[in-house]
Chains A and B, each alone.
Chain A
């Protein structure tokens, strides 16, 4: 019995060492312009809780978003195992391509829309059980363990970012547990963020460089620099939700 206990605690230590060693390594810096070196995402050790030192977000450059391209949508679907089931009315779409056309000028804009990871999310306010919550690092998630499927968060979301799972699912991926009768939305690839990947599936897939992932709290991050240099607006900014996803070129 005692030998068993020993070996198991050894094993735990192994796990720990591996994880700490593996993910604590800093991700390399990026040279944007001569003399301007940006630190990209610094991974946290796996056993530490996320903190409000970080605020993860996305910057979407609509000028670079190409007409008819669906790479980000496809990447998201693949990453999380989303698939077509009963048609677009009930299928999950964590990220969608929206085409905007100015009513008077005809100016057309393409952009992906997903959960905007608000600082003051209405979905979190209205959720009766607290299943809808915001992590300290700004990522808004659904705790599907205590979601009762009332869909009030979907009524409250100004971006229609949330989906209800309308049918029994099988073959869900380990990184994206999801099941019938609960609500879900873009997780900002939380499993990748926690792993220190420093990117999301959509940002990774965009060959036009229209999506930038990063830390809005880090003044030296690429996303903050870009926002500082060229600006970026929030969708429905009048609601004062302070979204984590920003758009350029609107």
Chain B
């Protein structure tokens, strides 16, 4: 392999500043939403005592899950020693940190008492998977930060393998933790399933890689650097595998539920009668998020087009958001059984399917988190030397 020269991007063009302006606008909107929700209380959002976690959590969990997945490219390079992925590793680490920061921002700003962040850090209940996640997220910043350092500074480069392995193990635990937030909820029909943790891991591979592909293509296109087909082809094939695996896990989850009569109600709700949730599942998660991107990635003609691959990545992201919407909102909308065999009614929506209509505030907060992630990546590629000057085939895959 030829020597690869990493450079920071110029970042002075009108387009670059415009991009920052757009991110800034969304961050401001998100901040405005946060201030408003804080001032008024959560009643102005669509979230209620029935649908407890709403759109902000869809965004936050998506970003957190994608964050660990975005590290994959770096892990393949350092842990599994595939030299092909080495030039792509630095961006991968930075992107994962940025996505985690954005996701956590949304999660924290949606708290009832975000002013008590210090409490969240100083009081721990070690039986809570949520408390473990706080440690896992904080640790992720530290470990991936060190890993990034070993990639950027040749003096500590000898520790790269160790740091990379630690980061890889940590991200697996982290996503297990995120999935377990739902897997450990014994009370709700839609959750309480051990498959949640591995399903979240495979989802993270897919979402993270889709975002990585988009960021990579955008940064090379907008800076006029060369990005060869070898890189794109390898990444999009990998993406295809991950999409298929995600679909498989979803299939296994629903088939298991369908076998147990106890779960027929929730399955009928998600798969057939759930209105928005059902549409989100079939059109969002399955068709937009899996089938169309799979066709694009594997059919010979569209697979050659960069635009189509970009579209496939966007669809995976949209499908990912939809799938989290189904898990989160669907799981909460469907009522819990109080006494088996009895239909319940009350003033507190017992036995009733709860409608959830997200408010503009929640959407603004979520988009603010996305913008925070993107602004971090954009600044990082300007400040650090993350991107190879060229990823043309002759450089990225010289053996061919």
The interface of chain A, by Cβ under 8 A from chain B, is 85-86, 88-93, 96-104, 109, 113, 122, 124-131, 146-152, 154-160, 162-168, 180-183, 235-236, 239, 250
**A150 B111 Cβ-Cβ under 8 A:** yes
A239 to B188, CA, bound (A): 11
A91 to B111, CA, bound (A): 18
Selected from A156, A160, A166, the residue in CB contact (under 8 A) with B42 is A166
Across the interface, which residues of B come within 8 angstroms of A129, CB to CB? Answer: 119-120, 123-125, 131
**A90 B346 Cβ-Cβ under 8 A:** no
A97 to B346, CA, bound (A): 6
A159 to B50, CA, bound (A): 11
Query: DSSP majority for the B interface?
Result: loop
A182 to B113, CA, bound (A): 7
**B124 A167 Cβ-Cβ under 8 A:** no
A70 to B40, CA, bound (A): 30
A225 to B247, CA, bound (A): 55
**B128 A164 Cβ-Cβ under 8 A:** no
**B346 A113 Cβ-Cβ under 8 A:** yes
Does B43 lie at the interface of the complex (its beta carbon under 8 Å from any beta carbon of A)? Answer: yes
Given contacts A155-B53, A159-B338, A235-B339, whether A148 and B185 have CB atoms under 8 Å apart is no
5 more CB-based (< 8 A) A-B contacts, given A86-B43, A102-B341, A168-B41: A89-B48, A113-B346, A128-B133, A164-B42, A180-B41
CB-nearest residue of chain A to B117:
A148
**B125 A182 Cβ-Cβ under 8 A:** no
CB-nearest residue of chain B to A96:
B348
**A98 B344 Cβ-Cβ under 8 A:** yes
**A109 B116 Cβ-Cβ under 8 A:** no
A167 to B41, CA, bound (A): 4
B220 to chain A, nearest CB (A): 40
**B343 A103 Cβ-Cβ under 8 A:** yes
Selected from A90, A101, A127, the residue in CB contact (under 8 A) with B343 is A101
Selected from A102, A164, A180, the residue in CB contact (under 8 A) with B49 is A164
Does B184 lie at the interface of the complex (its beta carbon under 8 Å from any beta carbon of A)? Answer: yes
17 pairs, CB–CB < 8 Å, chain A vs chain B: A89-B50, A125-B127, A126-B127, A126-B129, A126-B130, A129-B119, A130-B124, A148-B112, A148-B114, A149-B111, A149-B112, A150-B111, A156-B185, A159-B336, A180-B112, A181-B41, A236-B338
B292 to chain A, nearest CB (A): 32
A154 to B49, CA, bound (A): 8
A51 to B347, CA, bound (A): 35
**B344 A100 Cβ-Cβ under 8 A:** yes
1/0 per position for B25-53, CB-CB distance to A under 8 A? 00000000000000011110000111011
Given contacts A93-B348, A96-B346, A126-B129, whether A167 and B120 have CB atoms under 8 Å apart is no
**B113 A149 Cβ-Cβ under 8 A:** yes
Across the interface, which residues of A come within 8 angstroms of B143, CB to CB? Answer: none
CB-nearest residue of chain B to A88:
B347
Does B261 lie at the interface of the complex (its beta carbon under 8 Å from any beta carbon of A)? Answer: no
Given contacts A146-B123, A147-B112, A181-B112, whether A113 and B350 have CB atoms under 8 Å apart is yes
A130 to B338, CA, bound (A): 27
Which residues of B327-348 are within 8 A (CB) of A?
332, 336-339, 341-348
1/0 per position for B117-150, CB-CB distance to A under 8 A? 1011001110111110110000000000000000
The interface of chain B, by Cβ under 8 A from chain A, is 40-43, 48-50, 52-53, 111-114, 116-117, 119-120, 123-125, 127-131, 133-134, 181, 184-188, 332, 336-339, 341-350
A166 to B52, CA, bound (A): 11
A126 to B186, CA, bound (A): 11
**B184 A100 Cβ-Cβ under 8 A:** no
A156 to B180, CA, bound (A): 12
Across the interface, which residues of B come within 8 angstroms of A102, CB to CB? Answer: 341-343
**A167 B40 Cβ-Cβ under 8 A:** yes
**B128 A127 Cβ-Cβ under 8 A:** yes
**B348 A160 Cβ-Cβ under 8 A:** yes
A128 to B52, CA, bound (A): 16
CB-nearest residue of chain B to A143:
B123
Selected from B111, B125, B187, B341, the residue in CB contact (under 8 A) with A181 is B111
Across the interface, which residues of B come within 8 angstroms of A166, CB to CB? Answer: 41-43, 48
A16 to B353, CA, bound (A): 53
A180 to B115, CA, bound (A): 12
CB-nearest residue of chain B to A98:
B346
**A100 B52 Cβ-Cβ under 8 A:** no
CB-nearest residue of chain B to A95:
B348
A213 to B133, CA, bound (A): 39
A239 to B336, CA, bound (A): 13
Given contacts A103-B341, A126-B130, whether A155 and B52 have CB atoms under 8 Å apart is yes
A103 to B343, CA, bound (A): 6
**B120 A90 Cβ-Cβ under 8 A:** no
B192 to chain A, nearest CB (A): 10
A250 to B340, CA, bound (A): 11
Across the interface, which residues of B come within 8 angstroms of A147, CB to CB? Answer: 112-113, 116
Selected from A103, A151, A163, A181, the residue in CB contact (under 8 A) with B53 is A151
Across the interface, which residues of A come within 8 angstroms of B42, CB to CB? Answer: 90, 164, 166-167, 181
A248 to B280, CA, bound (A): 42
A113 to chain B, nearest CB (A): 7
A148 to chain B, nearest CB (A): 5
Given contacts A128-B124, A155-B185, A160-B50, whether A148 and B342 have CB atoms under 8 Å apart is no
**A130 B185 Cβ-Cβ under 8 A:** no
**A148 B120 Cβ-Cβ under 8 A:** yes
Across the interface, which residues of B come within 8 angstroms of A250, CB to CB? Answer: 339
B268 to chain A, nearest CB (A): 15
